Amino acid sequence: MFTILNKSNQSVNILSFYNKVYGILNKYRTLVLMLIDASIALFSCHIPLLIFGLQDLEASTFILKLFLYTVIYILTFKANGMYKNLWRYSGYKDLLQCLKASAIASVLFLLVAWITKIPVDYGEFLLVSIISCFGTITVRLVYREMRTIVERKIDNEIPRTNVMLIGAGQATALLLEELESNNPNNYLVKCIIDDDDVKIGRSMYKINIVGNTANILEMSEKHEIDIIIVVIPSIDKENKRRILDICSKTQCKLKILPEFCSLIPYDSINSFTESIRDVQIEDLLGREPIALDCELTKGYLNNKTVLVTGGGGSIGSELCRQIASCYPKKLIILDEYENNAYEIQRDLLCKYGDKLNLEIEIASVRDGRKLEKVFISNEINIIFHAAAHKHVPLMEHNPEEAVKNNIIGTYNTVRMADKFIADKFILISTDKAVNPTSIMGATKRICEMIIQAYARHSSTNFSAVRFGNVLGSNGSVIPLFKQQIKEGGPVTITHENITRYFMTIPEAVQLVLKAASIAEGGEIFVLDMGEPVKIKDLAYNLIRLSGLIPEDDIKVEYIGLRPGEKLYEELLIAGDASQTKTEIEKIFIEKPMEFDEKQFFESLEKMVMAAKNNERDSIVSLIEKTVPTYKKIPEGQEKGFNVQQTVI
């Protein structure tokens, strides 16, 4: 069971005798514990005899008392589950359980003695009860300590991972307690850091609190730290980023205890160490998550039939999860990729079961007839249109597919919403539609124009929501960076100065749902996403968070802008002057751009025919004519294009 490799790499059993004995004891553990407890009970009954003598008590009566007390003691312990507990993981609750069982056994014995009229000296019996309770608890604690000593001896033969903990609060106390009994990663906590001056110089579970966050670099070198774990579940984003920035200057791996662990009850802490996760790039964005009041959202979705196109994708599936929590009359998920649709269907049914009226439609938004059939079969109230091709370089090389899926798909869905008089239609757009330099961005801008044109004449409320890059979504660059680091590099960045706006998937979906709740028709809603982030900084931080040094351990290569890619993304076509505020903080509306609707729809019809005939040159020409702000990047600027490089 417990083995290590010696210096000659031969596998040896360092505690074979212990393992054999432990195996036998474990096989008959209940019987062994019952015999031990019986012995303790018998011994306890003899203590008053040794102290006070037999006095006037007859030997037969004494033996009867011994028998009754021992039997009652053992049966009470068994009834209270004392022989099921794993005492190597025992805590104060187990000790209280032991004390409770002892007290019940004593009361039961006194009750039986009173009924059978067996004489009992209450002073002597109190002594017996105290000794037996103390004995059973002592045996179990001694066993636990012996196991700990043996396993520490084993652990000392295995290389340890030196750990620094940041934070000296309740979460750290829980973590240290579990590490005492459950330490699968063989962590050796060397020191604790905390910014509370009162705590510095003191200790937790014999681990010294050696300084504040300004001492992280110094202490990581002094104690030869391998891993730093941030154990402050309630920390705000600004301080989290500050601490992680300091930690990233060390050569230590970084891990973090997520926020939800602060809510884990004390008696459910057996898997506490499993909650510790690697630091994620979201932790470094340096802003608080955007949290919007969802009561209004629940109000307009409640008891409505809602259609989500592209419902199996990263944004679409999160839309479905949040919509499902608002008690819709029916949720229809439409996606052409059955695996994605199956995954979100399984998630929702596992969570809501029969409480959610869920329908899955495997279909493409390109198929107008299938869409019409879906609308005929259901009285759809609200549509969230998330289906789209999003990969910039791939759409540059396949413009006809971008038109078919993005433009024709949106046009088909918009026409059905208008024809069947849906209440609301919300288009999921992108910041790449602003002054686009790519085919993908230009097609999404045309989708916005379709929405605004229909909004002027339709009974349906048509609006769009525009946001930046979504961390964790299909196409995010972060998983690519992580994979490249895992493979030893190099990490590839398109340009040293490239920047992007970032948000999380839940934030993006909150924005969509909240904007939809206040939409009146024709708006393009935009989120204030804070400052843009340099992709180079993200890559460097990810390398450091992996305990590696950029350029030394992991090389960083600049491969050039890809087809259609911009250095800087924008959220507004005409800049800040073109936006108006809403009653919701962080959400703005871009003032609509005027365009000739007749000419627009004529170009649109030509574009649809060109896409169906796969006429790429005609498609690009028509896009340039339809989207005046589209500026194609000159040929040759996108050096080093690699189809495997995921879009940022």
Residues annotated as catalytic are 432
Token pair listed for 604: 């649109």
Angle at 87 between CA 84 and CA 92, to 5 degrees: 105
How many C-beta atoms surround the C-beta of residue 88 within 10 A?
15
Helix locations, 198-337, DSSP H = 216-222, 237-247, 295-301, 314-324
Distances, alpha carbon 304 to alpha carbons 273, 348, 351, in Å: 43, 17, 20
Distance CA 261, CA 181 (A): 19
Cis peptide bond prior to 490, omega within 30° of 0 = yes
Question: 166: part of which helix (H) or strand (E)?
Answer: strand 161-166
Contact 178, 187 (CB under 8 A): no
Token pair listed for 201: 């110089």
Distance CA 201, CA 211 (A): 7
Distance CA 29, CA 100 (A): 22
Q: Supply the DSSP symbol for 583.
A: S
* Nearest CA-CA partner of 253 in 625, 542, 39, 502: 542
Distance CA 193, CA 210 (A): 6
Interior/surface letters 548-557, b for 16+ CB within 10 angstroms, e for the rest = bebeeebebe
Distance CA 170, CA 172 (A): 5
Distance CA 125, CA 477 (A): 73
Angle at 339 between CA 335 and CA 342, to 5 degrees: 80
* Nearest CA-CA partner of 646 in 462, 452, 483: 483
Distance CA 592, CA 523 (A): 7
Distance CA 463, CA 288 (A): 27
Contact 97, 80 (CB under 8 A): yes
Angle at 624 between CA 618 and CA 630, to 5 degrees: 145
Total number of residues shown for the chain: 648
Long-range contacts of 212-220 (CB under 8 A, 24+ apart): 213/166, 213/242, 213/243, 213/246, 214/246, 216/164, 216/166, 216/243, 216/246, 216/247, 216/250, 217/246, 217/249, 217/250, 219/164, 219/191, 219/193, 220/164, 220/250, 220/252
* Nearest CA-CA partner of 329 in 310, 308, 348, 355: 355
* Nearest CA-CA partner of 121 in 186, 195, 175, 65: 65
Residue type, 164: M
Contact 249, 242 (CB under 8 A): no
E strand map for 28-155 = none
User: Where do we find the tokens 């290389």?
Assistant: 159
- What phi and psi, each to the nearest 5 degrees, are found at residue 570? -125, 155
